[in-house]
Amino acid sequence: MSGPARPGSDASRLRHRRPLHEKWHPTTRDTADHGQPYITARAMLDVAIPSASYAQDRLRDPSPLALIDRVTAAEEAALTTTQPERCRTA
């Protein structure tokens, strides 16, 4: 793809679906506690996010990964225009 994808376009959604594999399937606490996909999936399953959510056995649990694999991330152009430097997607 040449140049940035237009926000909201199919190309933009595809580009942001899996920005970094490690963010979508974290293997360490450091990545998991900064990864919105993992935090969101874990909260949906457990209702809360205690420190135990980042234990190695929890990181290997296939349940949140199954939810994460169903997530699509897309830029919300209205939010990006209000704070373009804070909402960078690339």
- pTM summary value: 0.60
Question: 32: Cβ–Cβ under 8 A, 6 or more apart, which residues?
Answer: 26, 38, 39, 53, 54, 59
User: Does residue 75 contact residue 16 with C-beta atoms inside 8 Å?
Assistant: yes
In this prediction, residue 88 carries a pLDDT of 59
In this prediction, residue 2 carries a pLDDT of 41
Task: Express each pLDDT in 7-39 by its tens digit.
Answer: 554 444 444 444 456 778 888 998 888 888 899
Task: Express each pLDDT in 35-87 by its tens digit.
Answer: 888 998 999 999 989 999 999 999 999 999 899 888 777 778 887 777 766 65
User: Does residue 39 contact residue 33 with C-beta atoms inside 8 Å?
Assistant: yes
